[in-house]
Amino acid sequence: MASGFVRNGVFVTGTDTGVGKTIVAACLVRRWNADYWKPAQTGLADEPGDSETITHLTGLPPARIHPPRHAFAASLSVEAAAAAEGARVALDDFDLPHTSEPLVVEGAGGVLAPLCAGALTADLMARLALPIILVARTTLGTINHTLLSLEALRARNLQLLGVVLAGVASAGNRDAIVRHGGVPIMAELPRLEPPAPNTIAAAAAVFPDWKSVRSRSFLKKRTKKPLLV
């Protein structure tokens, strides 16, 4: 249930893989001078991990990028990538790293992406108990994906801080998500051409500052619906 209390960090999830979670996380790291943690990383055979991308985009020192608890080569769900290596993943492997700074946690895939036998990413969100930022595309199809993700969060009483729309702005899609989803848009992140340290630093300004994100009055202003912290 919503407690109104915002812990010292956020969990960034998305309506899909490749929607811009890492780019949003990089902006939040810059905006809040936050630490970063990717609890489970897959796809290392094909791409650098998200921690490496964050290092490149933000210059965050290595000590402030907390290493993934699990990392796998295959570009698959965490559950499937672990199985491909005969590795065992369990929900209780994952504990928040200790830090006195705000912490940006980035999930793998979306809300219902499989983590391991008996657990989806939503279960990891519940375990870590951080308020959630849902990153969504702006393009056709995003209303359905966003509303489905919100239903999944609501069904589990997970706390949402807001939706971030990433891409070329679409006022119609934004309006439909706000009205049908009953959620605030935390920020609209434009296309960055290209995503790079300087464009990330500039784009970070579209996000609210950490103090206002933490404050209950900021959150209360947004809605009384139980999904929202």
Ligand X SMILES: Nc1ncnc2c1ncn2[C@@H]1O[C@H](COP(=O)(O)OP(=O)(O)O)[C@@H](O)[C@H]1O
List the structure tokens of 111: 């809300």
Looking at beta carbons only, is 32 or 229 nearer to Mg ion? 32
Point out which residues bind ligand X (CB under 6 A): 14, 17-23, 166, 189, 191-192, 195
137 binds Mg ion (CB under 5 A): no
DSSP structure string for 107-159? EEEETT-EEETTEEHHHHHHHHT--EEEEEESSTTHHHHHHHHHHHHHHTT--
Interaction of residue 108 with Mg ion, rule CB under 5 A = no
User: Cβ closer to ligand X: 38 or 64?
Assistant: 38
Helix (H, G, I), strand (E, B) or coil at 205: helix
Contact 116, 89 (CB under 8 A): yes
Residue 38 bears catalytic tag? yes
Cα distance between residue 127 and residue 82, in whole Å: 20
Q: What is the smallest separation between the CB atom of 216 and ligand X, expressed in angstroms? A: 29
Strands 40-41 and 35-37: unpaired
User: Least distance (Å) from ligand X to the CB of residue 23?
Assistant: 4
Binding track, positions 6-25, relative to Mg ion; x by CB under 5 A: ---------------xx---
- Binding partner of 20, given ligand X, Mg ion, none, CB within 5-8 angstroms per partner class: ligand X
Q: Residue numbers of the site for Mg ion (CB under 5 A)? A: 21-22, 50
Q: Annotated active-site positions, please?
A: 38
